[in-house]
Amino acid sequence: MIIDIITIFPEFFDTFLSTSIIKRAIQEKQVEIRLHQIRDYSHNKHRNIDDTPYGGGVGMLMTFPPFYDVIKKLRTEDSLVIYLSPQGKLFKQSIAKKLAKKSHLILLCGHYEGIDARVESLIDMELSIGDYVLTGGEIPAMIVADAVTRLLPGVIHEDSSEEDSLQNGWLKFPQYTKPETYEGHTVPPLLLSGHHQKIADWRKEQQIRRTYTKRPDLIRSIKMDEEEKAILTRIKAEKKQK
């Protein structure tokens, strides 16, 4: 996969690209992440890429021509152009899974009051990482790139990614490691039993219990099987009795 990131602050990504899983994925050529300085496409001798909005208003707006030119240069038949904006569709794990099947992503990082609205005629998708406003699109671009890269074949162990929170709708079950006991805090005895089926059953219930307790809003979009429905019904009944 190739991920092109269009930004006025390419240095913002230095640490992101040189650490942890992203660094390894780049070294092993599972992903190529390319940074593009939007100022290089400026039509202004001072390399300015912002101007005052027509109709008045506070702040500055990123101009259209640089984005038109860079998208025209980078885009191919396989490209998906994504504008990172608080007005976009909420980015979720389900979207990350779909994007991971693409071969080329182009991520546009806005700044100031955003990008001239004509850019919307050039994009395929507008994504938001949450209902709040950030200084620019660089952090959202890193989030999207990270979430997508770790789903690419071979980047992390497939079994590990399948157990992640939200991968199948549910939050992840609680996990523990050594020591078994510390200052009176102990690991659930079942996890030390070696009984794999009972552990699997416990983890399934904990996924449902955690999701119902912490993120009940997620449950509406989960396609549950009969076992999961029965577990959820029991958990709800327990809550009512308390």
Residues belonging to the active site: 86, 113, 150, 164
Q: Which residue has the tokens 């599972």?
A: 30
**Cβ neighbourhood burial of 201 (10 Å; 0-12, 13-18, 19+):** middle
Q: Which amino acid is at 2?
A: I
Calculate the dihedral angle through the C-alpha atoms of 89, 95, 101, 106, rounding to the nearest 10 degrees.
30
The conformation of residue 212, written as its DSSP 8-state character, comes to H
Q: Which residue has the tokens 């989960």?
A: 222
Strand-pairing partners, residue 81, are 106
Q: Give the tokens for residue 9.
A: 């602050």
